[in-house]
């Protein structure tokens, strides 16, 4: 077993078994990591409050070499707890949607320091208004889907306004209206 200390952003969590949790982190050192947090849902757990979505944490991970779950979180300490939300609580759902988008669009164990820096910038308290279009365009560019060089998958129009998360293609406003896919992002 190897032990790692890294800074991480909590993208999401879900229940695993009765008291355990499956935590999805985007780490500075390893990229996206899905890790098990044993007994994290117990009332007395020291991990539960720290491993909430949109928190920046300092995490201690144990990397297992055999079978099943590769990482386990054994310790986590909040570095920055949703300060962006504290400044603009009306944007809570928008921030959660952006975190979910990052989770859906990234692969595990693929480190990208540009994406890490973008996450730090997006979710830090800067006092600016949340411009979702600009954020999604920037994230898409980092992930290799540059909207400036894209065209509509249906008609070829270079004036694109939407991105399909499921198909990874762009659409213009006219063609997106015909599709009606609820997985389209306005960019």
- Tell me the CATH number at 67: 2.40.50.140
Residue 83 has pLDDT above 60, yes or no: no
Count other C-beta atoms under 10 Å from residue 112's C-beta: 17
- Does residue 44 belong to any structural domain of this protein? yes
End-to-end Cα distance, the chain: 43
Q: What is the pLDDT of residue 68?
A: 58
pTM given for the model: 0.87
Extended strands (E) in the chain: 2-16, 20-27, 31-37, 55-63, 71-81, 162-164, 169-171, 184-186
90 and 117 co-located in one domain: yes
Question: What's the structural domain count of the chain?
Answer: 2
Count other C-beta atoms under 10 Å from residue 80's C-beta: 16
pLDDT digit string, tens, across residues 147-181: 999 999 999 999 999 999 888 999 998 998 887 66
- DSSP secondary structure string, 135-172? HHHHHHHHTT--GGG--BTTT--S---EEETTTTEEE-
Which comes out higher in pLDDT, residue 2 or 11? Answer: 11
pLDDT digit string, tens, across residues 23-67: 999 999 999 999 998 887 777 778 878 888 999 999 999 988 765
Tokens of 146: 């540059």
Q: How many whole angstroms separate alpha carbon 92 and alpha carbon 96?
A: 6
Q: What is the pLDDT of residue 127?
A: 47
Q: What is the pLDDT of residue 17?
A: 78
Question: Could you tell me if 24 and 96 are in contact, meaning their C-beta atoms sit under 8 angstroms apart?
Answer: no
172 and 115 co-located in one domain: no
Residue that is last in its domain, among 102, 131, 160: 131
Residue range(s) defining the domain that contains residue 102: 2-131
Q: What is the pLDDT of residue 59?
A: 93
> By CB neighbour count within 10 A (0-12 exposed, 13-18 middle, 19+ buried), where does 90 fall?
exposed
């Amino acid at each position: 077993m190897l032990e790692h200390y890294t800074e991480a952003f909590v993208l999401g969590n879900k229940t695993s078994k009765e008291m355990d949790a499956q935590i999805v982190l985007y780490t500075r050192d390893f990229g996206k990591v899905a890790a098990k947090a044993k007994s994290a849902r117990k009332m007395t757990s020291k991990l539960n409050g720290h491993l909430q979505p949109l928190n920046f944490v300092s995490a201690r991970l144990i990397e297992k070499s055999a079978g099943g779950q590769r990482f386990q979180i054994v310790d986590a300490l909040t570095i920055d707890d949703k300060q962006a939300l504290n400044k603009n609580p009306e944007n809570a759902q928008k921030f959660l949607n952006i975190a979910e988008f990052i989770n859906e669009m990234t692969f595990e164990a693929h480190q990208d320091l540009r994406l890490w820096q973008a996450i730090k910038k997006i979710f830090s308290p800067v006092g600016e208004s949340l411009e979702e279009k600009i954020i999604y365009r920037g994230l898409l560019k980092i992930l290799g889907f540059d909207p400036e060089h894209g065209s509509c998958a249906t008609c070829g129009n270079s004036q694109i306004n939407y991105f399909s998360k499921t198909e990874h293609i762009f659409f213009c406003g006219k063609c997106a209206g015909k599709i009606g896919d609820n997985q389209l992002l306005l960019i």
